[in-house]
Amino acid sequence: MQKLNVAVLGATGAVGQRFIQLLEDHPWFQVGEVIASERSAGKLYSEAVNWVLDGEPPSRVANLTVKPLDGEFDSLLIFSALPKEAAQTRELELAAAGHIVCTNASSHRMADDVPLLLPEINAEHLALIDVQRHRRGWEGAIIANSNCTVMPVVMALAPLRKYGITQVQSVSMQAISGAGYPGVASLDILDNVIPYIAGEEPKLEAEARKMLGRFDGERILDLDLNISATCTRVPVLDGHLVNISMGLADKPLIETIIEDWRSFAGPDLVPSLPTAPLRPLEYLTQPDRPQPRRDRNAGNGMATSIGRLRPCSIMGYKFAALSHNTIRGAAGCSILNAELLAAKGYLGDFQPLVDALVVQQ
């Protein structure tokens, strides 16, 4: 099968580099265009990027010339890892020009015709694209994925919606790569914890309600969830760990919830998509897990690790959940979203046969 050429906006940043790394051996997509700021445009990718991941940038991408954001792009599918200010107008222009934009920026996440997609938990939200195209009169589309910290929260809560989630309180310990590159100054974060991340808490609360909500054919009906978030930055490279307390209207046994997590799989063809992990949720029985350094790469960085489920005297239950912020929380999720788009026929003539694929793990 001929691979589809894709473009990566913000290709030199923390999330952009993850895109380049994850797409290197992708069975359907290959990077054909890299885009960054004026600082980088015109340079070879290898010269423009300060590669912070293991090894070297893949040689094919290393030799691509970085394009400016205001140029025209050949690729139908565009992955965006732009800061929200740069994404705000340009992503709209690109969708209007017919591109399918899978974005990590927060600019359009809460627009009521933009799916905030996480295939395992809300694949049906994809159909919101038809509403978006009709309303905006364009043939392209914007599909967002969420803030990286909401990821472990919604992944863990999704299988428990059937019990009636009444309230949630979360306290995050977020890795420094979540702040992008160069991110937080070492003099601020080493030997320290910062109990504030600008804008993060309201995003987590609003995005969780939308992602766990229901699509009624025209709009997303948010989950009626009382949620309160505290977000902190800790000196960890990758992986956001969140302590979560929750109330459930029904009172399932601890063992039942663990079984719900262990048996959880995405709907329909989602588990067969190339980037989908075999088990989206892994429950760890050791009393001191999950830990960022040990567990962030579960399922190639796409699985959420959960542990320490126990009674909470205030809300009923409490536990810890961890997701890799630049893989499941950003580039990996965007790629999974694009795979779902391809499988559902949203990428023009490019429609791979998903049943014929072997799940990679």
Stretch that binds ligand NAP, among 9-17, 71-79, 134-142, 315-323 (CB under 6 A): 9-17
The CA-based angle 3-302-155, given to 5 degrees, is 125
Q: Does residue 157 bind ligand NAP (CB under 6 A)?
A: no
Stretch that binds ligand NAP, among 133-141, 175-183, 246-254, 350-358 (CB under 6 A): 175-183
CB atoms within 10 A of CB 90: 20
Give, in order, the Cα–Cα distances in Å from 199 to each of 88, 149, 179, 205, 218. Answer: 16, 12, 12, 11, 29
Rounded to whole angstroms, the Cα distance separating 115 from 65 reads 32
Site string for ligand NAP, 78-107 (x = CB under 6 A): ---xxxx-x-----------------xxx-
Q: Does residue 21 bind ligand NAP (CB under 6 A)?
A: no
- Is 333 marked active-site? no
What are the φ/ψ torsions at residue 25 (nearest 5 degrees)?
A: -115, 30
Residue 104 vs 172, nearer CB to ligand NAP: 104
Burial class (CB in 10 A: 0-12, 13-18, 19+), 121: buried
Q: Does residue 36 bind ligand NAP (CB under 6 A)?
A: yes
Site string for ligand NAP, 51-80 (x = CB under 6 A): ------------------x-----------
- Is 148 marked active-site? yes
Q: Which residue has the tokens 């998903």?
A: 354
Rounded to whole angstroms, the Cα distance separating 190 from 156 reads 30
Q: Going edge to edge, which strands form the sheet with 304-312?
A: 226-233, 165-174, 240-248, 316-323, 304-312, 281-284
Residue 53 vs 96, nearer CB to ligand NAP: 53
Catalytic entry in 99, 102, 108, 148:
148
Stretch that binds ligand NAP, among 33-41, 275-283, 291-299, 353-361 (CB under 6 A): 33-41
**DSSP label at 245?**
E
Q: Which residues bind ligand NAP (CB under 6 A)?
A: 10-16, 36-37, 39-40, 69, 81-84, 86, 104-106, 148, 177-178, 180-181, 325-326, 329-330
